[in-house]
């Protein structure tokens, strides 16, 4: 096991450990190297372990949440707890994983422990908090929460903006779809659908709309119907024609004829 670096001057170590151990709030010290250096009984109990010794020396990020609630990998560099630099206090909501693999929604905060580079993490179970409809939807709706928290603490609006940006960058690839969009953000398809639904859209409709708008511009520039179809990301002209008619009220050929 990696040697435990000093948290504070030697004479204060015992006092610090006693305070952490007796605190009713789950507390967890993350060493500068990223491993668990100290943990109190409240944290041990919340996460379903039996003894602090089971946790000491483990990589903190992997122990708390190596994966998202949907089972996808959670890279440490995306973690707002150990993946971000800076000495100021930070906080937010996350999903932690118990010893048995059950995801638990938590409210967390961190504070630097001085020049040692260690970090004090405090957290509490948010499962039963009555904090308003928006927070309940985040904490109690597992897929919705994962969509919000996957990307290192960004807001739902920021995550959604990134999804829209990817749609409008990649729609011309005929293999691009909702599943690939979700994988690129380490999210489940359901999480992506939830974020789009909050603004009255679906990811599939957004991809199709981007393709059709691009095809319309190509046709206006004199590109053939066949070329407009495939260059905008459609796999076949029949699908393209039907989608174009639904959106613009005319077939691609009729649209071209009106402009000639």
If DSSP states are collapsed to H, E and C, what string results for 24-42?
CCCEEEECCCCEEEEECHH
Rounded-to-integer distance, Cα 127 and Cα 51, Å: 23
Dihedral Cα 28, 32, 101, 25, nearest 10 deg = 10
Sorted by where each starts, the structural domains of the chain and their CATH numbers stand as 10-141 (3.30.450.20), 154-260 (1.10.10.60)
Which of the pair, 145 or 48, is modelled with greater confidence?
Answer: 48
What's the token pair of residue 146? 């994962």
pLDDT band at 130 (very low <50, low <70, confident <90, very high): very low
pLDDT band at 176 (very low <50, low <70, confident <90, very high): very high
Confidence (pTM)? 0.46
Residue pair 109/89 in contact (Cβ under 8 Å)? The answer is yes
Which of the pair, 70 or 97, is modelled with greater confidence?
Answer: 97
User: Is 133's pLDDT higher than 50?
Assistant: no
- Percent of the chain predicted with pLDDT > 70: 77
Tell me the mean pLDDT in the region 129-139: 41
Q: Which residues in the chain belong to E strands, given as ranges?
A: 27-30, 36-39, 90-97, 103-112, 119-125
pLDDT band at 12 (very low <50, low <70, confident <90, very high): low
pLDDT of residue 157: 82
Q: Which of 96-105, 143-152, 201-210 has the lowest mean pLDDT?
A: 143-152
Query: Which distant-in-sequence residues (6+ apart) come within 8 Å of 76 by Cβ?
Result: 34, 61, 62, 82, 83
pLDDT of residue 2: 38
pLDDT band at 15 (very low <50, low <70, confident <90, very high): low
Query: Which distant-in-sequence residues (6+ apart) come within 8 Å of 11 by Cβ?
Result: none
Tell me the mean pLDDT in the region 140-167: 66
Rounded-to-integer distance, Cα 137 and Cα 222, Å: 48
User: Is 148's pLDDT higher than 60?
Assistant: no
What strands, in cross-sheet order, belong to the sheet with 27-30? 36-39, 27-30, 119-125, 103-112, 90-97
Dihedral Cα 66, 71, 72, 73, nearest 10 deg = 20
User: Is 218's pLDDT higher than 50?
Assistant: yes
Rounded-to-integer distance, Cα 194 and Cα 172, Å: 24
74-90, pLDDT tens digit by residue? 888 888 887 665 555 67
Question: Angle formed by the axes of helices 203-220 and 237-248, to 10°?
Answer: 90
pLDDT of residue 83: 63
Q: Which of 73-87, 105-119, 203-217 has the highest mean pLDDT?
A: 203-217
Which of the pair, 260 or 143, is modelled with greater confidence?
Answer: 260
Tell me the mean pLDDT in the region 51-71: 87
pLDDT of residue 70: 67
User: Is 207's pLDDT higher than 90?
Assistant: yes
pLDDT of residue 139: 39
Tell me the mean pLDDT in the region 166-194: 89
Question: Can you tell me which residue has the tokens 């440490």?
Answer: 76
Q: Which of 26-35, 183-192, 226-235 has the lowest mean pLDDT?
A: 183-192
Question: Can you tell me which residue has the tokens 């993490």?
Answer: 121
């Amino acid at each position: 096991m990696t040697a435990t670096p000093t948290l504070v001057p030697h004479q204060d170590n015992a006092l610090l450990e006693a305070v952490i151990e007796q605190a009713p709030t789950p507390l967890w010290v993350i060493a500068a190297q990223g491993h668990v250096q100290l943990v109190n009984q409240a944290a041990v109990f919340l996460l379903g372990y039996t003894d602090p010794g089971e946790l000491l020396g483990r990589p903190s990020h992997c122990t708390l949440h190596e994966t998202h609630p949907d089972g996808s990998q959670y890279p440490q560099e995306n973690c707002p707890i150990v993946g971000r630099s800076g000495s100021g206090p930070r906080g937010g909501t996350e999903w932690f994983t118990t010893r048995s693999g059950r995801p638990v929604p938590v409210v967390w905060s961190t504070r630097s422990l001085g020049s040692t580079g260690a970090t004090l993490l405090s957290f509490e179970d948010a499962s039963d908090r009555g904090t308003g409809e928006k927070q309940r939807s985040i904490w109690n709706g597992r897929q919705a929460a994962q969509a919000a928290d996957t990307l290192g603490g960004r807001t739902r609006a920021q995550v959604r903006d990134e999804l829209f940006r990817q749609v409008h960058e990649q729609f011309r690839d005929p293999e691009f779809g909702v599943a690939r969009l979700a994988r690129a953000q380490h999210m489940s398809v359901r999480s992506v659908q939830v974020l789009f639904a909050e603004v009255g859209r679906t990811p599939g409709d957004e991809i199709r709309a981007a393709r059709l708008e691009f095809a319309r511009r190509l046709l206006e520039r004199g590109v053939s119907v066949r070329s407009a179809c495939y260059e905008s990301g459609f796999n076949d002209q029949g699908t393209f024609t039907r989608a174009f008619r639904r959106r613009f009220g005319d077939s691609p050929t009729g649209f071209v004829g009106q402009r000639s």
